[in-house]
Amino acid sequence: MKLGEGVEAAIHCAAMLAGVEGNSTMSGAAMAEAFGLSPSYLLKHLNQLTTAGILESVSGPAGGYRLARPAERITLLDIVLAVEGREPAFRCGEIRQRGPVKLDAKAYVKPCGINAAMLKAERAYRAALAEAKLSDIVADFMNHADPRTVAASCAFVERHQRPQKVQQPSKRER
Amino acid sequence: MKLGEGVEAAIHCAAMLAGVEGNSTMSGAAMAEAFGLSPSYLLKHLNQLTTAGILESVSGPAGGYRLARPAERITLLDIVLAVEGREPAFRCGEIRQRGPVKLDAKAYVKPCGINAAMLKAERAYRAALAEAKLSDIVADFMNHADPRTVAASCAFVERHQRPQKVQQPSKRER
DNA sequence: GTAGTGTTACTCGGATAAATATTGTCCGAGTGACATCGG
DNA sequence: CCGATGTCACTCGGACAATATTTATCCGAGTAACACTAC
């Protein structure tokens, strides 16, 4: 019953990416710097999010990551499952069948009651996580956190986000 | 997000101990045999349950383990916390403070919203586990499982439980 | 001045090592049952 | 025959390795920007 440290980093990065505008990106190195993490290791987790379809990555100069869909449609459950794996935490090893008392398989068609109880609890856990949308996290941060923290975060995003080349070659885009 | 394998063993053992009568005990070796587990390793988990006050252990010949209180007052949460540890699965490392943007501590009095959401989910998880009493698990097994499995389990308990010496020396006790 | 082209610097991605936690094993301390011995 | 006593076998408990998982690092593939050259 222990979540990896990468989950925290992944959520923070996703929340930060929710602040970049349009289809701009932010490099993994910038986010690693923002949170004082090892850049190479953070990429590993960001890659997991990309594989899960939560983030999009673009290579090359001015590349980086961006949300693959609006923050309203990303939940904490999505992120946790992407980083920690989709299988449930409690895996019933059916140890009740492993003893010397061997009955035929028909005696074990009923699922183990212990397993059922554990899975029920985990469903509650996941349901609570599915309620928490990334946009809610960001909104709560914007409204209730210390204003200076909010300002600092927004400034960091503004400073490090990289606009992507678009088809329309707007001349006076700084 | 992965529970150790010992949790399953601990719960099964507790459920089996709920079947022993009075203050009789059952040895760890017997339970290890029942589930096909390594005896020495199972003792480690049983010891955790004993430390947590869920089980009582008696040494010497005819020794073993027994529930420290009635099964109605033991929940799956008690067992899971005893084996996996009491601290929450998600530990906020406050990585938001680790970046180069150093604000004074007064800016971080508000708890991290991400941490709050994760802890809320975990509270739901623990609440669901606290609802599941060990007596319910046993009753469900007795009533809804395959009768032959129930019979086999009861026979195993009858065969391996060790009555404790009591003050009253009843002569005709078989 | 403009288009084409080669170089370059920057990005992510996966393969590779170190650190840590979990799982498994072993041996020792303690204790009550049992057999033996004495009354 | 009954009780005291010494031995012993069986129990749990904690210390010690092996394995698996997590964490951290490095180097390579790919790509778009940039500079340069030719027209």
Res B171: pLDDT: 40
Is residue B169 included in any domain, yes or no?
A: no
For residues B11-30, give the mean pLDDT.
95
Task: For residue A71, tell me if it sits in a domain.
Answer: yes
Query: B114 and A9 in contact by Cβ < 8 A?
Result: no
Domain for residue A171, yes or no?
Answer: no
Burial of residue A47 (number of CB atoms within 10 Å: 0-12, 13-18, 19+): middle
Residue B174 lies in a domain: no
CA separation for the pair B104, A174 (Å, rounded): 33
pLDDT reported for residue A119: 95
| Token pair listed for B49 | 């349950």
Q: Is the CB of B79 under 7 A from strand D?
A: no
Chain A interface includes B105 (CB < 8 A): no
Residues 35-94 of A with CB under 8 A from B: 35-37, 76, 80, 84-85, 89-93
Count of structural domains within chain A: 1
Any domain includes A134: yes
pLDDT value at B128 more than 90: yes
Measured distance CA(B10)–CA(B157) in Å, rounded: 16
Per-residue pLDDT of chain A (174 residues; tens, 9 = 90+): 789 899 999 999 999 999 998 889 999 999 999 999 999 999 999 999 999 999 999 999 889 999 999 999 999 999 999 999 999 999 888 888 787 766 777 777 778 999 999 999 999 999 999 999 999 999 999 999 999 999 999 999 999 999 987 654 444 333
Domain containing B99 equals: 5-162
Residue A110 is predicted with a pLDDT of 79
Q: CA–CA separation, A157 vs A147, rounded Å? A: 15
Asked, for residue B168, whether it belongs to a domain, the answer is no
pLDDT of residue B166: 62
Token output for B25: 């005990």
Say what the pLDDT of residue B154 is: 93
Does the residue A158 lie in any domain? yes
Kindly report the CATH number assigned to the domain that includes residue B56: 1.10.10.10
Distance from CA of B149 to the nearest CA of A (A): 7
Q: Is some CB atom of chain A closer than 8 A to the CB atom of B120?
A: yes
Chain B CB contacts of A90 under 8 Å are 3, 7-8
Tokens 């869909």 locate to A69
How much is the pLDDT for A166? 62
Which pLDDT score, from 0 to 100, does residue A122 have? 96
- B171 assigned to some structural domain: no
**Cα–Cα dist A54/A71, whole Å:** 10
**From the list B109, B126, B145, which residue is nearest A110 (CB)?**
B145
**For all residues of chain B together, what is the average pLDDT?**
90
Yes or no: say if A71 and A138 are a contact pair by the CB < 8 Å rule.
yes
| Residue B172: per-residue pLDDT | 39
Long-range CB pairs of B139-145 (<8 Å, 24+ gap) are B140/A113, B141/A113, B141/B15, B144/A110, B144/A113, B145/A110, B145/A113
